[in-house]
Structure 1
Amino acid sequence: MKRRDFVGLGAATLLAGTTRARAASPPNVLVIGTNLGAVPSLDPAAINARTPSEVVSNLYDNLVQLAPDDLTTIRPMAAEKWDVSDDKSTITMTMRRGATFSSGNPVTAEDAAWSIRRVIKMAQVGATDIALWGFTPENVDGLVQATDEHTLVIKLPEKVSTDLVLYSLAGSSLGVLDRKVVLQHERNGDLGRDWLKGNSAGSGPYKLAQWRPNDILLCDARTDYWAGTPAMRRVVMRHVAESGSLRLQIEAGDIDVGQYMASGDLEALQAKGATIDLGAGFGFYYIAMNTKDPDLAKPQVRQAFQHIVDWKALAATTMNFNGFPWQSIIPKGMIGAPTEAPTGYEYDPDLAKKLLAEAGYPNGLKKVLFPSSDALLKMAVAVQASARKAGIEFEIVPGEHTPDFRARKFEVLVGNSGARLPDPFGTLVQYAYNPDNRDEAKLGGYYLWRTGFDAPELTRLVEDSKDETDPERRKAIFQQVDAGFKALNPPLVVLLQRTDPYAIRKGVSGYVGHPTWSTRWFAAKKS
C-alpha cells in the first residue's frame, strides 16, 4: 500500500504546473515528454503515427513481435507458436495459455480473430498494412476464425509471403483487444470506436489510468502480466510542445525521455551526458512534384529538381538528428538496399539552370511550396534558399498540407514518410506503386498517385515482390525497382532517410525506440 501511495504521490508531483520547481521523477516512474497533440485516439484501428503507436504497443499485446535490434526474427507474444501450411495459404496460431486482459478476462483465439476482423471492417489507417494482403470487410469473416479457444486460423486471400503477413501482425494497430469489454461499449454498430478513443481494453503490460488530450497520459503497470511486472510501475507521458522547455526539464530530472526535439537542444543534452537514440526508421524526407502541372510533367524539369537542394548542409544542420543522406527508396540495411550511400542528386545550381533552360525555362520557374506540416517548415525554408540559386523561386505557404498532398491539390511539397512494415515492400508500395492513376480512383495512400505519375512497370515489379519467397529473387526485384524509379526522373526526390531521435536522460536504460514505432516500456529501468 505504501508503495502504491508513493507512486501516486510522485505522479501528483509530475502533474503539477511547470511554473514552480519539482522534485526529480520517482525511481519507479518513467516520464516521457512528447507531443500528445499527435494522439487523436487510443483506438489501435485508428492510428499509424509514432506517439499513438508507442502508447497502444504497451496497452495491447500483438500476436507476434519484433525486437528493435532484430527485425528479421519473428518472436512469440500473445501467440506462443504458429505453423504455415505446405501451400503457404494458411497460418495457424496457438494462443498463449494463462494470458489475461487487464479486465481479468482470458486472452482467447476469438479475441484475436475479432480484433483482426475489426481493424479490416473499420477500414481506418490502422488497416493499411494488413489490408495489403487482400483482406477486405467482405471476406475477412470467412478468412480469420478461431477454431477453439486457443487456435486461430488465418487463411490468406492472395498468394503472398507469409513473413509479410506476420510482420504486419506485429504492427501496433493489430494488438489483441478484449472483445467482451469493447462490445459492452459499442454504440450504433461502431465496434467501440468512440469508447476506445479515450479508454483501453488491452492485454499488454500496462493499463490506461488517465488520459487528458493535449495534456497528460498515465499508464500503470499490471502485476498480473504473463511475462511479469514491469520495473516501471507507472509511465507518464506529458505534453511539452516547446523543445527548449523539454530540454530544461530533462536537465532538471523532471523528465526522463524527450521526443520531437530540435537539433540544438539534442546537442546540448548530449553534451551533458544524455543518450540520443536516433531510432532509424523506414521513411524518407523528400520533395514531391505534381505532374498534373504542365511544367512539372517535363522530365528535364524534374531532373533539375534533383540538383536544387543543398542536402549535405541540410543533413549537417537542420536535420542532423532527424535524418541522414540516402537517395534510395529502399531503407538502409534492408534486402536490396545499396551497400553504400547512393549518390546522383548532388547540389548543382548551374546544372539545374541548364536543365531548366533546355526544358524551355531560361528564366527559371516560380512555384508554390507546401511543407506537409509545421514540423517541415524549417526544411522548406532551407530548400527555398538553395533553390533560389538554381533559378527556382518558391513561395512557401505554411500549414498542415498533407490533406492537399493526398488530394493532388499542390504544386511542390516537402514531406516525410514513415512505414511500419520492416521489409522493402512497405516503402516501395508508397513510392513506386500506382495501380490506377485516374483522379476518381482516389488512391491517396500511394505517393505516386498523389503526384499523378503513372509507372506501370514499377507497379508490376512491386506486385511481383509480394509473393516471391526466394531471398535472392526478391533482392533482384527490389534493386530493379530502385534503379527503375531513379531512371524515370521521378516526381519524388528522396534525399534523407528518416530518424526519430529520443533524448534519454542519464541513468535510464532499457528504453529503445523501435523502428516500427512499437516502442515498448517493459524493459525500461532507472538507476
Structure 2
Amino acid sequence: MRMQNKLGAAILAMALLGAAAAPATAQKSADTLRIVMRDALPNIDPYYNNLRTGVVMHHQGWDALVYRNPDTFKLEPLLATEWKQPDPTTIEFTLRPGVKFHDGSPFTADDVVYTINLIADPASRLSTPANYNWLDKAEKTGDLSVRVTLKRPTPAALEYFALVIPIYPKAYREKVGAEGYAKAPVGAGPYKMTKVEPGVSIDFERFEDYWAGSPKGKPAIKKLSVRFVPDATTEMTELLAGRADWIWNMNPDQLDPVNKMPHLQAVRKESMRVGYLSLDAAGRTGADNPLTKQKVRQAIWHAIDRKAIADKLVTGGSRVPSAPCFPSQFGCDAEVAVPYDYDPAKAKQLLTEAGYPDGFEVELASYVLPQWGSAVQNYLLAVGIRAKLNQLQTAALIQRAKAGELRMYLGSWGSFSINDVSAFLPNFFDGGADDYARDPDVQKGLVQGGSTINPEVRKEAYSAVIKKITEQAYWAPMHTYVTTYGYAKQLDFTPYPDELPRFYLARWK
C-alpha cells in the first residue's frame, strides 16, 4: 500500500498547486457538463459496441420501450405505455403517441419493428449477440402496437428491453445507412447528439421536444461534452486542472486527495460489475498452451490472493464472488461453486504435477487499472509463472480477445446491469467469440437455463453450469467493482448501483 500512499500524496500536491487556477464554478455558467472518460468509443451506435461507455451514451441519447427505475429496479413504461404476455414467447406492446425523434420524425410501430427485426437477424453481426439471440421477430399490429415473438421463453426479456434495446428511427437509418448513422446518430432520448468524432469526443444538447412525462425527465443541464483520454492519469489531470467536471473509475487511493480539493468531491458506489481473469482453456491460441491443462488453471486460481486485491486495491467494500457472476443475479449459485483459497504452495504443487515445475512465460493482457494488473502479475511470478503485463486500451483488448489471440487477460463485465445470469454467463461460455472454454456441457446448460420460465429448472441448469466452470477453473471472478466518481462540487449528481450515470437527472447546484 506504500506505493498507493505516495501516488495519493503526489496527486494532492499537484492538485494544491493548481487549485488557484481551477474554475470554482466548473462549467455551470456555460451550462455544459464536461465529462472525461477512458474507453473511447469507436462506434456510438448502441448495437455495435459492447463498452460500458457505449451503454452510458445510449441511455442519454436514445429511449427504449421500457424503463427500469434506478432506485427500485421496477420496470416502468417508456416508449411503450403498456405490455402483456399472452404466452411465454409473445410480448405485445402498446406504444406511446406523440413522441418525436431528434430529426423531428414521429415515433411509430414501424420504428420498433425495424429495430427488433434488424437486431434479431444474425447477419447484422451485433457486438453482443447474446443480448439479442432470444428474439425471433416483430410485427406491426397497429400504428402504435407491436407483437414481438421470442425464440424461447426469456424470463429477463423486459429487463433487456429496458437496458439494451434502444429504438432506431427507421426512415433516417435506412436513408443514411449504418456507417452514416454512426457518424450522425438520431434517437428519441432526452439528449440529441450534435457532433460525434469516433474515439475522440461526443457532444450532446438537450432535446427541447423530448416528450413530456418521461420518467427520465427533461434534462436540467443544456449540454454534455464528452471527451475520451488514453489513461487514468490524464483523466485525473483534466479533473484537477478544471478542464473536466466529471470522471469515474478513478484509482481508489485518489478518493481522499480529491475530497480535499475545495472545488471537487469524490464518492464510491458498488456496482454490478465483476473483474475477471480469462484463461484460454480451449487452446484457441495454440496447442502448446499450458492453460489447456486443468491443474495449471487451478494453480493460477490458488496463486492469486483475490481477497487482498479486493480489500487493499479495489477497497470500498469490494467482494470476491464465489461464482462466475454477480451475487445478486438470479441463478448465481455460490453454494455449488468450487472454492479456491489463496495457497501459493498448492499452486506450485499443481504446476509441478502438470509438468511445469519451473513455471512458464505468458502474456497477461489487461485494460483494468495498472496497479491491479501488476498485483496479479506479482502473485503469478511468486509461483513461477512469468506473466508479461501488456496494458491495452479496452477496445484494442476486446478486439484481440474476440479474435482468440489472448491466453490470459484481465477484464470486467457489468452484465449491462441486468440482474440475471443470462446476461453474464452466455457472454463467456456460449461458444461465441468470447468463449475460451468451448465446453459443450456448459453451452447445453446455458441453453436449458435460458429456455424456460420455470425458476426451479433455470436454477438447476445454471447451478450445474457454475459447478462445471469452477471445477475446471475456466474463468476466475476476481472482485466486484466499487466505482469511484470524481466531480465538481457545483454538480448535483447521484450514482446508482447499476453503474449507469444518468446525466439527464443531474443538475447544477
Q: Decide: shared fold, TM above 0.5.
A: yes
Residue aligning to 1:405: 401
1:234 to 210, 215, 223: 223
Check conservation: 1:432, 1:458, Cα contact below 8 A: yes
String of CA shifts for 1:156-186, please: whole Å, max 9, x gaps.
2x2212x4222222234x212222222332x
Determine whether 1:167 maps to 2:159. yes
The alignment yields a C-alpha RMSD, in angstroms, of 3.1
Percent identity at matched positions? 23
What secondary structure, in the 3-state scheme, does the structure 2 residue paired with 1:68 have? coil
Q: 1:80 to 1:378 in 2, by over 3 A?
A: same
Residue aligning to 2:332: 337
What is the distance in 2 between the residues matched to 1:159 and 1:216?
39
Determine whether 1:255 maps to 2:244. yes
Determine whether 1:224 maps to 2:209. yes
Check conservation: 1:207, 1:220, Cα contact below 8 A: yes
Determine whether 1:389 maps to 2:382. yes
Check conservation: 1:330, 1:424, Cα contact below 8 A: yes
1:299 to 294, 300, 308: 294
Q: 1:339 to 1:276 in 2, by over 3 A?
A: farther
What secondary structure, in the 3-state scheme, does the structure 2 residue paired with 1:345 have? coil
What is the distance in 2 between the residues matched to 1:149 and 1:485?
47
* 1:430-449 superposed matches below 5 A: 430-434=427-431, 443-449=432-438
Q: 1:131 to 1:217 in 2, by over 3 A?
A: closer
What is the distance in 1 between the residues matched to 2:100 and 2:135?
31
* 1:83-482 superposed matches below 5 A: 83-85=84-86, 87-121=87-121, 123-126=124-127, 128-133=129-134, 135=136, 143-156=137-150, 158-161=151-154, 163-172=155-164, 174-185=165-176, 192-226=177-211, 227=213, 229-247=218-236, 249-250=238-239, 254-270=243-259, 274-278=265-269, 280-292=271-283, 293=288, 295-320=290-315, 324-337=319-332, 344-361=339-356, 363-373=357-367, 375=368, 377-399=370-392, 400-420=396-416, 421-434=418-431, 443-449=432-438, 454=439, 456-482=440-466
Residue aligning to 2:31: 29
1:84 to partner: Cα distance: 0.8
1:203 to partner: Cα distance: 0.8
Check conservation: 2:271, 2:481, Cα contact below 8 A: yes
Q: Which amino acid aligns with 1:491?
A: Y
Q: 1:269 to 1:108 in 2, by over 3 A?
A: same
What is the distance in 2 between the residues matched to 1:513 and 1:398?
29
Q: 1:514 to 1:221 in 2, by over 3 A?
A: farther
What secondary structure, in the 3-state scheme, does the structure 1 residue paired with 2:253 have? helix
What is the distance in 1 between the residues matched to 2:400 and 2:195?
34
What is the distance in 2 between the residues matched to 1:430 and 1:215?
28
**Uncovered stretches (5+) of structure 1, i.e. residues with no partner:** 1-19, 136-142, 186-191, 435-442
Q: 1:334 to 1:147 in 2, by over 3 A?
A: same
Check conservation: 2:35, 2:247, Cα contact below 8 A: yes
What is the distance in 1 between the residues matched to 2:178 and 2:460?
42
What is the distance in 1 between the residues matched to 2:486 and 2:411?
23
- Using the size of structure 2 for normalisation, the TM-score is 0.83
What is the distance in 1 between the residues matched to 2:234 and 2:370?
20
Q: 1:291 to 1:119 in 2, by over 3 A?
A: closer
What is the distance in 2 between the residues matched to 1:102 and 1:214?
23
Check conservation: 1:328, 1:494, Cα contact below 8 A: yes
Residue aligning to 2:82: 81
What is the distance in 2 between the residues matched to 1:31 and 1:397?
33
1:127 to partner: Cα distance: 5.4
What secondary structure, in the 3-state scheme, does the structure 1 residue paired with 2:477 have? strand
1:306 to partner: Cα distance: 1.4
What secondary structure, in the 3-state scheme, does the structure 2 residue paired with 1:422 have? coil
1:512 to 480, 495, 500: 495
What is the distance in 1 between the residues matched to 2:336 and 2:488?
31
What is the distance in 2 between the residues matched to 1:238 and 1:296?
39
What is the distance in 2 between the residues matched to 1:392 and 1:103?
56
Q: Which amino acid aligns with 1:332?
A: P
Check conservation: 1:303, 1:355, Cα contact below 8 A: yes
What is the distance in 2 between the residues matched to 1:104 and 1:407?
40
Check conservation: 1:83, 1:93, Cα contact below 8 A: yes
What secondary structure, in the 3-state scheme, does the structure 1 residue paired with 2:295 have? helix
Residue aligning to 1:503: 486
How many residues matched? Answer: 475
**Uncovered stretches (5+) of structure 2, i.e. residues with no partner:** 1-20
Q: Which amino acid aligns with 1:319?
A: V
Check conservation: 1:333, 1:339, Cα contact below 8 A: no
1:107 to partner: Cα distance: 0.9
1:377 to partner: Cα distance: 4.5
Q: Which amino acid aligns with 1:115?
A: T
1:213 to partner: Cα distance: 4.0
What is the distance in 1 between the residues matched to 2:272 and 2:79?
25
What secondary structure, in the 3-state scheme, does the structure 2 residue paired with 1:153 have? strand
What is the distance in 1 between the residues matched to 2:52 and 2:360?
35
1:91 to partner: Cα distance: 0.9
- Which range is displaced more, 258-267 or 318-327? 318-327
What is the distance in 1 between the residues matched to 2:485 and 2:376?
26
Check conservation: 1:119, 1:127, Cα contact below 8 A: no
1:467 to partner: Cα distance: 2.5
1:44 to 35, 43, 46: 46
1:426 to partner: Cα distance: 1.5
1:152 to partner: Cα distance: 0.9
What is the distance in 2 between the residues matched to 1:340 and 1:269?
40
Residue aligning to 2:3: none
Q: Which amino acid aligns with 1:198?
A: K
What secondary structure, in the 3-state scheme, does the structure 1 residue paired with 2:437 have? helix
What is the distance in 1 between the residues matched to 2:447 and 2:497?
27
What is the distance in 2 between the residues matched to 1:475 and 1:240?
42
What is the distance in 2 between the residues matched to 1:395 and 1:255?
34
